Every structure is written in structure tokens, then in C-alpha cells.
Amino acid sequence: MQLVFALAVVITNAHVLTMNPAQPTAKVVAVAGDRIAYVGDDLAAAEKAAPGAALLDAGGRTVMPGFNDAHVHFGLSLTLGSDHGIDLPNLDRRAFIRAVKRASAAHPDRDWLFIKIRDLPRGIESARDLAFISRPLLVVSAHGGILNPRARALGGFSNDEAPGGFIHGRDLATSFDRLIKALPFGRLTGGAHEFLAHLARVGITSVQLIDELPDLFDGLRRKGELTARIRFIPFGHQFENPFYVSSWKGPAPDWVRVEGVKYFDDEGARLPRWEMEEIFERSRKASRQVVVHVLSGAALESLLDGIEQLATADHDPAATRLWRIEHADEVTPEQARRLAKDGIIVCSNPSMIPEWHTESAFPMHTLLAAGVRTCIGTDWVGRHVPERSLSPMSGVELAVTHGGFGTAERITTAQALDAYTVGSATAEHLEKKKGALRPGMFADLIVLSADPLTTPPEELGAIEVLMTMVGGRVVYRHGF
């Protein structure tokens, strides 16, 4: 990827959506180094703020802050979401073995095989049942995953962690981190380059990854090849250690950092109250964000009860702000009011609405009407059926139309853009550095082929990103 860098640039003749309520629109943006130097309508003032700047005529096109996807799984895109991931229908044991052998023979260049099947065949229960193939293999089902002996050895799983090669419950998500790190380094770096190029094409300048691969991306930064700002949120539950916290400290945290912990609290994988208490105490002392995956109204109700009780017992009502809720596909108006009162950020996923097929799924209108600070994440995992697009404009269209599933939870285009920029920056406590175009903030911006605010809702997904700039560098430019 060729990166274009100028010490100073003035973008003129633009329709600037600043995402700054004090100055919603402008015509000129000046960039000096990696920061915004000027936003307004006065070209002379812009040139004074960025001496010696190159002029870039936007031709009346829309300029806005780059998008910040608040929930992405880069690692899964290299495993289950890549061409190494194979979907199988439910089969009996013999048919399953034949299908896996055929897949292996058809792709002799693959270093690993990742199989997805809803129900494991009877007789496939442990690593020894998968010993018919020597290539590293992980079979994932609705009830857990099974590693074959080779994969178990490469991943360094002890018998306590994966008894008989079987991984179940919340350990399955954690296990992927270890398996991803066991992939060949060439595939990791190649996958990272492809991922970054994809981000640039769709206008994502910051991304929050539910992964922990900071050395990989910081290595790209040192080579001048990092084209997006990366935040990693690792799983707090790591097999025998339910309170894992990363010790990684990067030299350039504005580009690569590890911050926060991720937990699950669902009907099938509840967060025990004693763990909540310990997580709360540790995170409160460290001012560390706790990100919790919640996918049911009942689980959300119980979690809110626990969070509020802990804050009350600690005599610190503001401590509820340590928590951030992911997904929240079911939210009542009363729960939304509690979330707003507690200052808990919710990361919604309009990209997943087509998978839920309900009028109330991912209720962003209910959340925003109650005053909940909401961000947007795609929960992208690479290849997925149905497609879960990484494109923010596709996500904005789904949020504004609610995927055609009813009108009650539709939000405005302005609200969706705010959630995808300012909201996502707020969700990682960096709203003073990015998410809007104001002097002193990062020069992370994009140029669009049309103005989202005047585009019909059903056409928002067709808006193209013509240019992406991150930290003053043009990392993507096409047709402009």
C-alpha cells in the first residue's frame, strides 16, 4: 500500500460535517502534521494555520471524521471467517470424517483447518476422534469445540484447559486467541495487511478489536505500514485465570494499545456475582473499562442490578461508568433509562439486524431516546453467512432503515454518524482526540462521494469512500 504524507494540507471547496455541535459544518479543513489545524470557511486563515500547505480541492464533496468501528474480531477473520473456515451441515460420524478428509485434500496448502458444524456427530467427542487427520484441526459446534492432537499441541493446551481436546463454554472464545497466535507469522502479517487495506477502503480510521495481538500491529507501525489506530480489548477470562489483565505497554498508544477487559454475561454463560465483585474492585482501582457481552433482556436486567449494587456498596455512583455493554439486542425503555442514569455506554450492532429478523433487535432508538451514549461496532468476523459487512455506510443504512424490519427502532442518519464517530471515540475514552474535526484533534478524516445527510436512507450503503486520511497521511484514494 502506498502512503502519501504531506507536512501540511488544506482541503478546500468541501462540505465538511465536523461532528462538532458548536460548528456543525465548514468549507475548509487545514491539516498540519498529524493534527487538525483549522476548521472553518476562511482559506487565508487555514493557510496561516498550516504554513506551506498543499491545496486539495474537494470539489464540493463531503468531508467528515473517519469512522471508528467499536467491535471487530480480526483473529476470527483469520480462522473461522477466512477461506480456512469450512461450514458443514449436520452429518453422521462416517460422513463427517469423509467431508473433513475431502476438505483437507482439496486444499493441501492450508496450514490449519477450521470446521463449523451445528451439532457434533455422535462418536466425535475428543481429540482422539479427530486423529484421522494430521493437519491442525479445530471443529466448532454450538456446544463447544474439539481440537485434534496436532492443534492441541500447537496451541499448548493442557489437559485441564482442554480435557480430551474438548473446549466448552466461555473457554472457547478465549481459546481462539491462543490458536491465532499459533498461526504461521506470514499468515498473520498478510492477514493484517489485507485487514488494514479493507479498513482504509471503507473509511475506518480507528478500530477496537476483541483480540490481543499488539506486537503484530505495532511491528507494522514501526515499519510505517500501520494505516489505522488499533485498540485491543482482551478476554478477561483465560481458562484457570478469570481475572486476566494484559501487561503490554506500547511505545505509541495513540496507534496501538491494549485497554480494558471483555467478559460474557449471557443465559448460557453467566458472570457469577463473586466474579463481578472481584472484577469491579480490580477495575475500579485501575480505572479500567469492563466490556460485557450481553445478548438478552434478562441477562441485561441481572447485570444492571449487579452493577448498581456494587456501586452503591462502594459509595461511588460514578463507578457504574466503568462498564460498557456490547450488543444489547433486547432493551426495554426502563432498562435504557437505567443505562443512561448509570452512564453506561452501549455498543450496538446494526450490521447484525438481518440475522435477527425482528423489529426490536438492537434498539438504538430506544437507547438514544433515553440519553444512552451509544457507539457502533460491526462484530465483523470476516466471511460470514449472512454477510456482516465491515462497511460503515452499510451499517449506517441498516441503522436508519432498521433493515426493513419495522420503523420503531430506526434512527436518523445524523444519529448514526454520531454514534459511529463521536460515540465510538467516547466508548474508548478518546473523545478529546478523535471522532470530530476540531483544531488539535487527530487528522483522521474521509472524503465521501455524497452527503449522507441528504442521501435517501435506502441508498446510504452505496456511498463510496474516495479518500481516507489517518494522522495526516492519505492511506487510500480512489476516483478523487
Above 80 in pLDDT, residue 81?
no
Residues 122-176 have pLDDT tens digits of 999 999 999 999 999 999 998 889 999 999 999 999 988 999 999 987 788 889 8
CA angle 112, 240, 314 (to 5 degrees): 130
Containing 190, the helix (H) or strand (E) segment is helix 185-202
| Cα 16 to Cα 13, 26, 61, 224, 449, distances in angstroms | 9, 5, 8, 28, 13
Cα distance from N-terminal residue to C-terminal residue, the chain: 17
Helix (H, G, I), strand (E, B) or coil at 217: helix
Q: Residue 45 burial (CB < 10 Å; 0-12/13-18/19+)?
A: middle
Judged by phi (left if over 0) then psi (alpha if -120 to 50, else beta), residue 36 lies in: beta
Residues 259-283 have pLDDT tens digits of 999 999 987 778 989 999 999 999 9
Q: How large is the angle between the packed helices 297-313 and 333-342, nearest 10 degrees?
A: 30
Residue 6 confidence class, pLDDT cut points 50, 70, 90: low
Residue 387 confidence class, pLDDT cut points 50, 70, 90: confident
Residues 439-463 have pLDDT tens digits of 999 999 999 999 999 999 999 999 9
What was the pLDDT predicted at 261? 97
Mean pLDDT (the chain) is: 94
Q: How far is residue 70's CA from residue 424's CA, in Å, rounded to a whole number?
A: 6
Q: How large is the angle between the packed helices 214-222 and 185-202, nearest 10 degrees?
A: 70
Residues 283-301 have pLDDT tens digits of 999 999 999 999 899 999 9
Query: Average pLDDT, stretch 108-126?
Result: 89
What pairing do the DSSP bridges indicate for beta strands 25-26 and 204-209?
Answer: unpaired
CB 166 within 8 A of CB 145: yes
Q: Residue 355 burial (CB < 10 Å; 0-12/13-18/19+)?
A: middle
290: cell is 469492563
What was the pLDDT predicted at 2? 45
